[in-house]
Each structure stands twice: as structure tokens, then as C-alpha cells.
Amino acid sequence: MSHSTLIMGPERRRRWSAEVKQAVLEAAFAPGAVVVEVAREYEISTSLIYKWRQEAIGMSAAPAFAPALLVEDGPPPQPCAEQGSIVVELAGGTRVSISAEAPASLVAATLRALR
């Protein structure tokens, strides 16, 4: 099934109100919805829908730092080579160590924060 649009006259850039953008996003990301079908219905590009979604959830904002809490309650834990661990050494001698027993979500969050 192909879809084509014939534009007669000079091309123009369309302007979308915030209400229309919200309606498109709600339709495109509703349970069971297919983004391509919603894009065809509104005669817009799928990439525009994804761009609006990024803007709506704030992904287009500048990267931010993750907050960190330093606790000095004794000596830092030493990684155990038998269990396996991830050790990231930062400039200035700072080390971040993650044990193999750490949950995957914690490992992913830590590595994202260090990126």
C-alpha cells in the first residue's frame, strides 16, 4: 500500500498548535497505536512525531549532571576479584566500584551517570 501527496502551488511550512501536537502524541503513543498510521492520518512525518515526543519529555534539553552523595563512614569497599566487579577510575584518583551482585538497574544508572 503506497501513499502519495500532491502539493499544488508553493510549498509552505505548516504550523502546529500545542493542542494539535498533544492530540497527535496521545494518538500515536496510545496502547496498541501504530505511529506510522497516526502520521498518515495527520499527514505528517513519523520523525516529526518522535521529535515532538522528545520535546514533550524534555530530552532535547541540555544534558544534566546526576547528583551524587559522598559518605565517609570508614574505608571504601575493596573490589573482590573472585566475585567480579566493574571498577571505573576517574581523573584525580576517584574510583567507582560496582560488584557483580549489584542489580542491573543500579549498574545501568551508575554508568549513565558517569557518561
Domain boundary among the residues 57, 88, 104 is at 57
Q: How far apart are CA 61 and CA 49, in angstroms?
A: 17
108 within a domain of the structure (yes/no): yes
Which residue(s) pair with 97 in the sheet? 87
- Rounded to two decimals, what is the model's pTM? 0.45
Q: What residue numbers bound the domain in which 74 lies?
A: 65-115
Q: Is 45 a residue whose pLDDT tops 90?
A: yes
What pLDDT is attached to residue 1? Answer: 62
Query: What is the average pLDDT across 81-93?
Result: 68
* Cβ-contact 99, 79 below 8 angstroms: yes
Residues 52 and 74 in one domain: no
Does residue 53 share a domain with residue 77?
no
Output the pLDDT for position 63. Answer: 64
Does a structural domain hold residue 3? no
Per-chain mean pLDDT for the chain: 78
Provide the number of structural domains found in the chain: 2
105 and 85 belong to one structural domain: yes
Residue 59's alpha-carbon distances to 49, 51, 55, in angstroms, are 14, 9, 6
Could you give the 3-state DSSP secondary structure of residue 87?
strand
